Amino acid sequence: MLTKAFGAYAADKSLEPMEIPRRDVGPNDVQIAIAYCGVCHSDLHTVRSEWAGTQYPCVPGHEIVGHVSAVGSAVSGFAVGDTVGVGCMVDSCQSCYACDDGLEQYCEHGFTGTYNGATPDKPGHTLGGYSQSITVKDKFVVKVRHPAENLAAVAPLLCAGITLWSPLRHWKAGPGKKVGIVGIGGLGHMGVKLARALGAHVVAFTTSESKRQAALDLGAHEVVVSRNADEMKAHANSFDLIVDTVAASHDLDAFVNLLKRDGTLTLVGAPEHPHPSPAVFPLIMKRRSIAGSTIGGIAETQEMMDFCAEHGIVADIEMIAATEIEEAYARMLKSDVKYRFVIDSATL
């Protein structure tokens, strides 16, 4: 079948309307009528070939929320009409130790991305959620239990939400733990909300005094302007976990020095240029760690979605029409969004 979409035919071309193929529903497939799709920085980098390997036509989008329109004969967990979501993955090998552990994001053979991933379906690579329909294996679909009026704001949970949930859960953020969130943009604002709901003492880090109240409004117990040396020093040796969401090269030592013994600085932001090498002695003298984390497995994603539904957590969004995507990209580059754009798929 063909479905309406927005995508680009080359790195130097603007996104434009197109019709794209979707495979017929197989025995283990779920076909989804897409209602909303979030806009991620990864979309911009991929569609403009700022990351190597973009295949065209490129249809981005991996924060998908919609309703089941058809199911395969072997599908038992979903029914027509169900509200569902699809995140950054639509397949993995399902046989390596990572997949066996429910951590498909670390698949030893590489997971298949929701867009720009190799696939036998036409045109030979996956096409994402800037479209009105998608067909996905049932194992990579999650249930959405939020009320209908919140669905647009649910979409960013499928990438931004799970990107913060996975490290917060892995490093056991919760009561009695002091957790820092560096940056309060599209990723960071979800980190503040989730860490607070998990019961941790949450400190938000920002470079701008003007964002202090916004961080408090999101749920931070405290806010530190990272350019203020006295504010940073006041928190030395006190954090169990700091999650760094900043996607620009910066000095990590300033945050390492805030960790307790055995504390961890976890990087989830991916800068265009490498961070300066951290100093060794602040790490070895307190057994501190610098780690990395990416999205989450399907089981983790379902856990996160259920937790957010239970606690009324959604992203802070600005709704846009498909014709506004290029403008949204330009605004994203200037950090001119609070905190996530979401496309109304009815406008495609």
pLDDT recorded at residue 345: 97
Residue 122's pLDDT band (boundaries 50, 70, 90)? confident
What span, in angstroms and rounded, lies between the C-alpha atoms of 210 and 332? 18
**What's the one-letter identity of residue 290?**
I
| pLDDT at 249 (0 to 100) | 92
Q: What pLDDT is attached to residue 271?
A: 85
What b-and-e string marks burial along 156-187, b requiring 16 or more CB atoms within 10 Å of the CB?
Answer: bbbbbbbbbbbbbbbbebeeebbbbbbbbbbb
Asked if 171 and 191 touch (Cβ cutoff 8 Å), the reply is no
Q: Within 13 Å and on the Cβ side, how many CA atoms surround 103? A: 11
pLDDT at 61 over 90: yes
Q: What is the pLDDT of residues 2-40, one digit of tens each?
A: 999 999 999 999 999 999 999 999 999 999 999 999 999
Q: How far apart are CA 266 and CA 165, in angstroms?
A: 12
In single-letter form, the type of residue at position 150 comes to: N
The bridge status of strand 340-344 relative to strand 317-320 is parallel
Q: State both tokens at 173.
A: 């953020």
Tell the residue number behind the tokens 């038992």, with chain if given.
76
The neighbour count for residue 27, using CB atoms within 10 Å, is: 10
Q: Is 270's pLDDT higher than 90?
A: no
3-state secondary structure of 173: coil
Tokens describing residue 120: 């036998």
What angle separates helix 188-197 from helix 160-170, to the nearest 10 degrees? 50
Q: Given the structure tokens 């700091």, which residue do they identify?
A: 242
**CA gap 95, 127 in Å, rounded:** 24
Measured CA to CA, the distance from residue 19 to residue 16 in angstroms comes to 10
**In 3D, which of 191, 347, 156 has the Cα closest to residue 268?**
191
The per-residue pLDDT for 52 is 84
CA neighbours closer than 13 Å in the CB half-sphere of residue 309: 19
At 291-323, the pLDDT tens digits run: 999 999 999 999 999 999 999 999 999 999 999
Alpha carbon distance 243, 221 (integer Å): 16
Q: Give the tokens for residue 187.
A: 């990723």
The pairing of beta strand 83-86 with beta strand 259-267: unpaired
Distances (CA, A) of 89 to 11, 36, 64, 95, 172: 23, 17, 11, 16, 24
How high is the pLDDT of residue 335? 86
Q: How confident is the model at residue 50 (pLDDT cuts 50, 70, 90)?
A: confident
Asked whether the predicted pLDDT for residue 229 surpasses 90, the reply is yes
Q: Convert the pLDDT of each residue in 238-253 to its tens digit.
A: 999 999 999 889 999 9
CB neighbours of 240 closer than 8 A, spacing ≥ 6?
A: 171, 173, 177, 178, 179, 259, 260, 263, 264
**DSSP conformational letter for 347:** G
Positive or negative: CA dihedral 95, 101, 104, 105 = negative
pLDDT mean across residues, the chain: 96
- Spell out the residues 6+ positions from residue 9 whose beta carbon is closer than 8 angstroms to its own: 16, 18, 56, 57
pLDDT of residue 269: 92
Give the residue among 32, 109, 43, 91 at the shortest CA–CA distance from 340: 43
Residues 298 and 167 sit within 8 Å (Cβ to Cβ):
no
